[in-house]
């Protein structure tokens, strides 16, 4: 199934792009997507520090199961206002 | 969850005019209007700031704005709430966020306005990058720098 991933702020700068598309299995989760983006454990742990995740437009959990067409957003600590 | 149709919850790329937004409030049953203007200031944690770049997950931010306004309405006796957050490149002195809360009495107006800005800062998927006088840039994490 197809999953779109969006990046923001420092994560976007670090990856030098604001989105990706992945073809994944039916047991995909944001945590598994993060492993595809950062295969190395050390880099993944550094990147994922304090990251939240949203699925479509709702805050979600890293272990939530994704569905075809979902959009995953990795949310660095926010700084609005 | 439905908000009053008179409420405005918006993420914009356009400059915010606090005076123009304030003039929208016209309920004769309300004796109190509390507003908050969040502006770009020229310093942060000892560093001189020239400009800020705000970035948002716009669809999610507007959805969460509606949720925050819905919550504020249930906690405080407000008749109209307006929340506008700007994104893009802002200079010192420009308005980044504006909130207006209109109520029959001041307690609710103050309470709703304060609640909204605190929740905006905690929940809205918006980020800001400082452009400092020394030429460096930093993404801010709440009040802490991301390295």
pLDDT digits (tens, 9 = 90+) for B39-64: 999 988 888 999 999 999 999 999 99
**Interface with A, mutate which of B44, B146, B147 (most A CBs under 10 A):** B146
Mean pLDDT, chain B, whole residue set:
92
Could you tell me which chain B residue has the CA closest to the CA of A75? Answer: B125
Q: What distance in Å separates the CA atoms of residue B101 and residue B117, rounded to the nearest whole number?
A: 11
**Beta strands B137-141; B126-132: pairing state:** antiparallel
Query: In angstroms, what CA-CA distances link A43 with A20, B90, B140?
Result: 18, 32, 20
The SS3 assignment for B109 reads helix
**Interface with A, mutate which of B38, B44, B49, B60 (most A CBs under 10 A):** B60
Query: What's the pLDDT at B145?
Result: 47
Q: Give the phi and the psi of residue B67 in degrees, each rounded to 5.
A: -65, -45
Q: What distance in Å separates the CA atoms of residue A47 and residue A28, rounded to the nearest whole number?
A: 19
Query: CB of B52 within 8 A of CB of B86?
Result: no
pTM for the structure as a whole: 0.91
Could you tell me which chain A residue has the CA closest to the CA of B58? Answer: A57
CB–CB of B142 and A80 under 8 A? no
Query: What's the pLDDT at B144?
Result: 46
A1, HSE (Cβ side, Cα atoms, 13 Å): 14
User: What is the radius of gyration, based on Cα positions, of chain A?
Assistant: 12
Nearest-by-Cβ selection for A8 from B57, B96, B141: B57
Query: What's the pLDDT at B1?
Result: 59
DSSP B19: H
A:B CB pairs within 8 Å? 73
Residues in chain B with CB shorter than 8 Å from the CB of A48 are: none
Residues in chain B with CB shorter than 8 Å from the CB of A9 are: 55, 127, 129, 139, 146
Nearest-by-Cβ selection for B125 from A13, A50, A78: A78
- The residue-averaged pLDDT of A53-66 equals 96
ipTM of the complex: 0.91
């Amino acid at each position: 199934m197809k999953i779109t991933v969006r990046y923001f702020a420092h994560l976007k700068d670090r990856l030098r792009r604001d989105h990706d598309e992945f073809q994944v299995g039916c047991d995909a989760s944001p945590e598994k997507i993060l492993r595809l983006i950062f295969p190395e454990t050390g880099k993944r742990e550094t990147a994922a520090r304090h990251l939240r995740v949203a699925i479509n437009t709702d805050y979600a959990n890293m272990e939530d199961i994704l569905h075809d067409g979902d959009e995953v957003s990795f949310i660095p600590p926010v700084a609005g206002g | 969850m439905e908000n009053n149709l008179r409420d405005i919850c918006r993420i914009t790329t356009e400059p915010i005019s606090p005076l123009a937004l304030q003039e929208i409030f016209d309920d004769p049953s309300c004796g109190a209007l509390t507003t908050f203007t969040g502006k770009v200031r020229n310093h942060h944690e000892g560093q001189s700031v020239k400009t800020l770049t705000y970035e948002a997950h716009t669809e999610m931010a507007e959805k969460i704005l509606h949720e925050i306004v819905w919550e504020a309405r249930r906690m405080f006796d407000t008749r109209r709430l307006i929340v506008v957050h700007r994104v893009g490149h802002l200079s010192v002195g420009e308005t980044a966020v504006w909130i207006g809360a209109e109520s029959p009495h001041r307690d609710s107006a103050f309470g709703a306005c304060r609640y909204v800005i605190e929740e905006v800062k905690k929940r809205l998927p918006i980020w800001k990058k400082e452009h400092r006088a020394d030429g460096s840039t930093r993404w801010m994490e709440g009040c802490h720098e991301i390295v």
